[in-house]
């Protein structure tokens, strides 16, 4: 492994109260000692106990003060990377941080690559691959659900599960190998039946994890939500109300005739990616057609459709067009403008929709964008619809990472091959190959069987200083 001492700014590059320059490696303490001095101008760190904090000044080569800082001295292996680590708590100005980092580099450290601190933690056995990846997910979390599931994984919930399943498979492989090596003392008579039972258990475990991946995508990316409704029903008003103070990043998603606007909205613990299908409101034959096409495309890809109805007006022809888009999807009716005299009743609307989409049921929430009414109920309904039991359910980790899902699916495929071989009474060495493949797939999740390329690829996606 690379034994250089590395350094990077560990906090965001924006003005803030404090900022941290992180230094890790065999020479971390000596390097910082060359540039960090107490009020009498003496070096401070060498010989000091681990996990202690020291006050002083970072100085230039000419002895000028760069910043007044607090330095955290942590000697390995009881550190994040497992190596000696020094963290310099500077003032949080961008220029100050850059200058202190430059000074650390002048004193002998090398600039860290993205993710290199975490990569070292992994290579030094401080955490397995899935837990290291979860560190990144914790940083990127945009909703409470995402944060909770990433923290769970960082603490080893997924790794623990995967290791258990892998150990079950390894146990069977070892038994077969041992019997094949020493047929006089170990018999595999009747083992096929036992193995069938074990395979079923393992498949059940794998399928259980894979099944959480859909939920995982919603947690990671947010629920793709499309707001549909007739012109003036109150779509924009509701969208603004939803966005409230949490109004976040507005991104342009190219792809359709006119760009569709996507907005990230946080609804309590959940994040929604709301697509604004502005086109559907434009009148005029050709344009309207484009709008409807666009809305149809968005609706077909959506996880959730919010159908906004102006309850002060009777239903119109366009509503049926919208019902055909909701049909077969998860949808919620927002019965809007409830503050006005009503031309429609919730019962009538539900009845008409249910006869249009037989067998389907869409929850209806009475809202008033003007009076800010109905949002709480909407949050509860979305949560119940998508995360029925909440994330703490059964302590089963939720698969939020596509790489993990693919590895689990491959492990399942290998186990299905084993099942087939056993069912067809094939010789034992046949299934031991597929059992080993399944093990290898699971080992790629936790890192026991991850090649150098995969490891490099994973850590290169990390941010600087992590
Ligand atoms: P959109 O075309 O569906 O996006 O509808 P808008 O959000 O632009 O709203 C159309 C009009 O209805 C605006 O004048 C809004 O102020 C009004 N509006 C929206 N929601 C409500 C509501 O709940 N009550 C009342 N009284 N007016 C509303």
Domain residue ranges in the chain: 6-112, 131-212+399-450, 220-386
Hey, which of 369, 373, 375 would you mutate to test ligand 1's pocket, going by the most ligand atoms within 8 Å of its Cβ?
A: 369
> Is the distance from the beta carbon of residue 234 to the nearest atom of ligand 1 less than 6 Å?
yes
Specify the 3-state DSSP secondary structure of 172.
helix
* CA dist., res. 438 & res. 407, Å (int): 9
Per-residue pLDDT at 141: 84
Q: Take atom 11 of ligand 1 and give the residue whose Cα is closest.
A: 232
The reply to whether CATH 1.20.120.430 applies to domain 131-212+399-450 is yes
Model pTM?
0.68
Q: What are phi and psi of 120, to 5 degrees?
A: -65, -40
Per-residue pLDDT at 283: 47
**Strands, DSSP E only, in 12-109?**
16-24, 36-37, 52-59, 65-74, 85-92
Ligand 1 centroid from CA 252, angstroms: 24
Question: Is the pLDDT reported for residue 313 higher than 50?
Answer: yes
Ligand 1 nearest-atom number relative to CA 336: 23
Ligand 1 centroid from CA 310, angstroms: 8
Q: Take atom 24 of ligand 1 and give the residue whose Cα is closest.
A: 337
* CA dist., res. 304 & res. 335, Å (int): 16
* CA dist., res. 374 & res. 370, Å (int): 11
Query: In which band, very low, low, confident or very high, does the pLDDT at 81 lie, cut at 50, 70 and 90?
Result: very high
Q: Take atom 18 of ligand 1 and give the residue whose Cα is closest.
A: 234
Helices (H) and strands (E) in the chain, counts: 15, 14
| Residues 28/6, Cβ–Cβ less than 8 Å | no
Ligand 1 centroid from CA 368, angstroms: 9
Topology of 6-112 in CATH? Gyrase A; domain 2 (3.30.1360)
* CA dist., res. 25 & res. 117, Å (int): 10
Task: State the residue for tokens 């809305």.
Answer: 295
> What mean pLDDT is reported for the chain?
86
> Is the distance from the beta carbon of residue 196 to the nearest atom of ligand 1 less than 6 Å?
no
Pick the CATH number of 220-386 from 3.20.20.70, 3.40.50.300, 3.40.50.10860, 3.30.590.10: 3.40.50.300
Per-residue pLDDT at 112: 94
Question: Is the pLDDT reported for residue 75 higher than 60?
Answer: yes
> Is the distance from the beta carbon of residue 231 to the nearest atom of ligand 1 less than 6 Å?
yes
Half-sphere exposure of 301 (CA within 13 A, CB side): 13
* CA dist., res. 215 & res. 347, Å (int): 32
* CA dist., res. 349 & res. 249, Å (int): 35
Question: Is the pLDDT reported for residue 254 higher than 50?
Answer: no
Note the maximum CA span of the chain: 88
Element (H, E) at 62: none
* CA dist., res. 296 & res. 145, Å (int): 29
| Closest by CA position to 157, among listed 384, 388, 391, 383 | 391
> Is the distance from the beta carbon of residue 291 to the nearest atom of ligand 1 less than 6 Å?
no
Q: What is the pLDDT of residues 350-393, one digit of tens each?
A: 999 989 999 999 999 999 999 999 988 998 899 888 877 554 44
Answer with the residue of higher pLDDT: 264 or 203.
Answer: 203
Q: What is the pLDDT of residues 208-226, one digit of tens each?
A: 999 888 788 888 788 999 9
**Mean pLDDT calculated for residue range 51-77:** 96
Ligand 1 centroid from CA 283, angstroms: 17
Considering the chain, what percentage of its residues have pLDDT values greater than 70? 91
Ligand 1 nearest-atom number relative to CA 373: 23
Query: In which band, very low, low, confident or very high, does the pLDDT at 260 lie, cut at 50, 70 and 90?
Result: low
**Beta-carbon contacts of residue 126 (< 8 Å; ≥ 6 apart):** 77, 80, 81, 82
Question: Is the pLDDT reported for residue 247 higher than 70?
Answer: no
- Within 10 angstroms of residue 80's Cβ, the number of other Cβ atoms is 20
Strands of 85-92's sheet, edge to edge? 36-37, 52-59, 65-74, 85-92, 16-24, 6-9, 110-111
């Amino acid at each position: 492994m690379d034994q250089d001492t590395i350094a990077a700014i560990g906090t965001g590059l924006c003005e803030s109260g404090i900022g941290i320059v992180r230094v890790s490696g065999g020479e971390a303490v000596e390097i910082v000692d060359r540039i960090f001095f107490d009020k009498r101008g003496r070096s401070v760190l060498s010989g000091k106990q681990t996990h202690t904090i020291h006050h002083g000044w970072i100085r230039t080569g000419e002895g000028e003060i760069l910043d007044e800082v607090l330095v955290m001295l942590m000697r390995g292996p009881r550190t994040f990377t497992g190596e000696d680590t020094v963290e310099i708590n500077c003032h949080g100005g961008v220029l100050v941080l850059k200058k202190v980092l430059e000074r650390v580099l002048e004193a002998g450290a090398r600039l860290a690559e993205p993710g290199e601190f975490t990569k070292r933690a992994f290579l030094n056995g401080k955490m397995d691959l899935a837990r290291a990846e979860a560190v990144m997910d914790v940083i990127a979390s945009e909703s409470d659900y995402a944060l909770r599931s990433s923290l769970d994984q960082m603490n080893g919930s997924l790794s623990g599960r995967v290791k258990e399943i892998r150990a079950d498979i390894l146990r069977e492989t070892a038994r077969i190998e041992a019997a094949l090596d020493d047929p006089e003392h170990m018999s595999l008579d009747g083992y096929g039946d036992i193995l069938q039972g074990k395979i079923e258990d393992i498949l059940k475990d794998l399928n259980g994890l894979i099944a959480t991946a859909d939920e995982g995508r919603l947690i990671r990316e947010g629920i793709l939500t499309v707001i549909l409704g007739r012109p003036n029903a109150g779509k924009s008003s509701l969208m603004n109300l939803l966005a409230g103070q949490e109004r976040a990043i507005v991104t342009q998603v190219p792809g359709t005739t006119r760009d569709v606007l996507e907005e990230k909205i946080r609804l309590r613990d959940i994040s929604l990616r709301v697509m604004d299908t502005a086109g559907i409101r434009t009148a005029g034959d050709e344009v309207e057609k484009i709008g409807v096409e666009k809305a149809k495309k968005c609706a077909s890809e959506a996880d959730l459709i919010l159908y906004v109805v102006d309850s002060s007006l009777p239903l119109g022809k366009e509503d049926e067009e919208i019902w055909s888009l909701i049909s077969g999807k998860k949808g919620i009716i927002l019965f809007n403008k409830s503050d006005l005299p009503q031309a429609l009743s919730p019962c009538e609307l539900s009845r008409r929709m249910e006869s249009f989409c037989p067998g389907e049921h869409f929850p209806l929430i009475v809202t008033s964008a003007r009076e800010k009414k109905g949002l709480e109920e909407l949050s509860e309904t979305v949560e119940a619809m998508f995360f029925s039991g909440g994330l703490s359910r059964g302590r089963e980790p939720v698969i939020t990472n596509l790489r993990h899902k693919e590895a689990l699916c491959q492990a399942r495929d290998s186990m299905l091959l084993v099942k087939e071989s056993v069912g067809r009474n094939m010789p034992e060495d046949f299934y031991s190959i597929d059992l080993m493949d399944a093990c290898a797939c699971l080992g790629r999740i936790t890192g026991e069987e991850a090649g150098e390329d995969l490891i490099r690829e994973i850590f290169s996606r990390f941010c600087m200083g992590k």
